[in-house]
């Protein structure tokens, strides 16, 4: 397929790796955060880190939509799924995220009607096929997935589908990045910006990172050459003393984003005053809820939810992994008590989670000595 194979060319990859080598300053240690879990997945799937000099370290950021969902939010979803007559729908990886008393998959095994969908539009279709049942969609994800939920809600309202509603756990990427940059225990040299979020919001929202914190940002695509080139662009900025937002993913990302998607988001959602992120705590204006005009489709208003904050299991160190403070294999339960088959923490659930990426691609321990 066009726009895919040409960005996986091995000889070009080696050429960009050589360019990266020429840009580093001997003796300096570089820490670059890839914000998006999709980048983490690609880095380990394609072995991108093996092409990097040992003093270029990749730090994994909080951009995995499943990983940042706190346990209490899963409990809210399970409470609705257990309501009589409810068909509860969600993306597949949400099924395995542990709540305080089990996962949605376990609720399904115990008799709740929980179904996996690939799109909220599939959930709406189920609602139209089952007019005598209440169909609820568990909406998660960043600005990439939120437009899909918004379009579905618009369609539900336009078609008068009364038995459909949504428990909204959509989040936005800029507030947690600001929280990370304020964190005293994290020193970063630059950011690989989230390409698909930027498809919707554009590259402009990331301008605060160079302006306020003096760190370069390169919005990047998800193929191995995209990631290598974005690292080279960050290192070039550092070598030349520049600090700005650059767009490596121009074949997809317009600098100003997708205005139609932004319009539909503004119509359907509004910012919550604060939202809890797993491992990062409460962050102001970082979560979305349904706007007043769409309140009738809000499952949190239609059903009773516990809304209780639940602390992570003591053994789980997802918070430190999400903040990039530790590597997945440094977690006490990584690959032993916590595996993709039986996850304790969210980072082991989704393919975009750093722990799952390390586990699935055989990174069980430190393999590269960092200078």
Between residues 51 and 66, which has the closer beta carbon with respect to other proteins?
Answer: 66
3-state secondary structure at position 139: strand
Residues 6+ apart with CB under 8 A from 3: 251
| Nearer Cβ to other proteins (86/356) | 356
Binding status of residue 196 toward other proteins by CB under 8 A: yes
Residue placing its CB nearer to other proteins in the complex, 48 or 264: 264
Exactly one of 14, 260, 332, 368 binds other proteins (CB under 8 A); that residue is 260
Residue linked to tokens 């300053």: 25
Spell out the residues 6+ positions from residue 18 whose beta carbon is closer than 8 angstroms to its own.
none
C-beta separation of 247 from 219 below 8 A: yes
Gyration radius of the chain's alpha carbons: 21
Q: Which of residues 326-355 bind other proteins (CB under 8 A)?
A: 340-342, 350-352
Are 309 and 71 in contact by the 8 Å Cβ rule? The answer is: no
Q: Contact, 138 vs 88, CB < 8 A?
A: yes
Buried b (16+ CB within 10 A) or exposed e, 207-216: eebbeebebb
Within a 13 Å sphere around the CA of 278, how many CA atoms are in the beta-carbon half?
A: 30
Stretch that binds other proteins, among 23-31, 148-156, 298-306, 309-317 (CB under 8 A): 148-156
Q: Cα separation of 105 and 121, whole Å?
A: 21
Among 141, 193, 224, 324, binds other proteins (CB under 8 A): 141
- Residue 172 found at the interface with other proteins (CB under 8 A): no
- Which range binds other proteins by CB under 8 A, 195-203, 302-310, 313-321, 325-333? 195-203
Extended beta strands in 111-248, E state:
113-116, 134-141, 164-170, 190-194, 217-220, 245-247
Binder of other proteins out of 20, 43, 57, 145 (CB under 8 A): 145
List the interface residues with other proteins, window 80-119 (CB under 8 A): 91-93, 95-96, 102-103, 105-106, 109, 116-119
Cα distance between residue 190 and residue 142, in whole Å: 21
Residue 98 is classified by DSSP as: -
Specify the stretch interacting with other proteins by CB under 8 A; choose among 24-32, 181-189, 257-265, 316-324.
257-265
The least CB distance from residue 292 to other proteins, in Å, is 23
The percent helix, strand, coil of the chain (3-state, each to 5) is: 45, 20, 40
- Among the listed residues 172, 248, 286, 317, the single contact to other proteins using CB under 8 A: 248
**2 sits near other proteins (criterion: CB under 8 A):** yes
Residue with tokens 């194979």: 5
Q: Cβ of residue 42: shortest distance to other proteins, in angstroms?
A: 10
168 is an interface residue for other proteins by CB under 8 A: no
Q: Is 290 exposed, middle or buried (0-12, 13-18, 19+ CB in 10 A)?
A: buried
* Residue (30 or 44) nearer to other proteins, CB: 44
Residue 27 beta carbon to other proteins: minimum distance, rounded to whole angstroms: 29
Taking CB under 8 A as the criterion, the residue among 74, 87, 151, 217 binding other proteins is 151
Q: What is the C-alpha separation between 198 and 219, in angstroms, rounded? A: 7
Q: Which stretch binds other proteins (CB under 8 A): 68-76, 219-227, 237-245, 320-328?
A: 219-227
Q: Is 176 in the site for other proteins (CB under 8 A)?
A: no
Which stretches of the chain bind other proteins, using CB under 8 A? 1-4, 38, 41, 65-66, 91-93, 95-96, 102-103, 105-106, 109, 116-122, 140-142, 144-145, 147-149, 151, 195-196, 199-200, 221-222, 226, 229, 248-254, 258, 260-261, 264, 340-342, 350-352, 356, 360
């Amino acid at each position: 397929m066009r726009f895919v194979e040409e960005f996986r060319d091995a000889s070009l990859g080696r050429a960009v790796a050589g360019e990266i080598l020429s840009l580093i300053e001997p003796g300096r240690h570089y820490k670059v955060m890839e914000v998006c879990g999709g980048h983490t997945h690609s880095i380990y799937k394609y072995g991108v880190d093996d092409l990097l000099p040992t003093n270029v370290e990749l730090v994994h950021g909080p951009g995995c939509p499943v990983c940042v969902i706190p346990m209490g939010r899963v409990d809210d979803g399970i409470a609705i799924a257990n309501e009589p007559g409810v068909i509860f729908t969600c993306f597949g990886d949400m099924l395995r995220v542990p709540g305080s008393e089990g996962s949605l998959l376990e609720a399904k095994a115990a008799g709740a009607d929980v179904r996996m969908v690939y799109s909220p539009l599939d959930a709406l279709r189920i609602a139209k096929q089952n007019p005598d049942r209440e169909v609820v969609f568990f909406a998660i994800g960043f600005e990439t997935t939120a437009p899909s939920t918004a379009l579905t809600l618009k369609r539900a309202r336009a078609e008068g589908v009364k038995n459909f509603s949504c428990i909204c756990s959509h989040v936005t990427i800029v507030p947690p990045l600001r929280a990370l940059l304020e964190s005293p225990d994290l020193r970063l040299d630059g950011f690989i910006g989230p390409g698909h979020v930027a498809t919707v919001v554009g590259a402009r929202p990331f301008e605060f990172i160079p302006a306020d914190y003096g760190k370069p940002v390169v919005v990047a695509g998800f193929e191995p050459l995209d990631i290598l080139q974005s690292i080279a662009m960050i290192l070039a900025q550092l070598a030349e003393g520049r600090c700005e937002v650059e767009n490596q993913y121009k074949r997809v990302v317009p600098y100003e984003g997708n205005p139609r998607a932004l319009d539909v988001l503004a119509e359907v959602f509004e910012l919550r005053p604060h939202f809890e992120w797993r491992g990062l705590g409460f962050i102001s204006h970082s979560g979305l809820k349904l706007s007043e005009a769409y309140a009738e489709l809000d499952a949190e208003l239609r059903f009773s939810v516990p809304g209780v904050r639940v602390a992570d299991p003591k053994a789980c160190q997802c918070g430190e992994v999400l903040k990039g403070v530790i590597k997945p294999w440094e977690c006490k339960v990584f690959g032993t008590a916590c595996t993709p088959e039986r996850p304790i923490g969210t980072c082991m659930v989704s393919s975009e989670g750093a722990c799952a990426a390390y586990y699935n691609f055989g990174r069980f321990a430190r393999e590269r000595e960092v200078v």
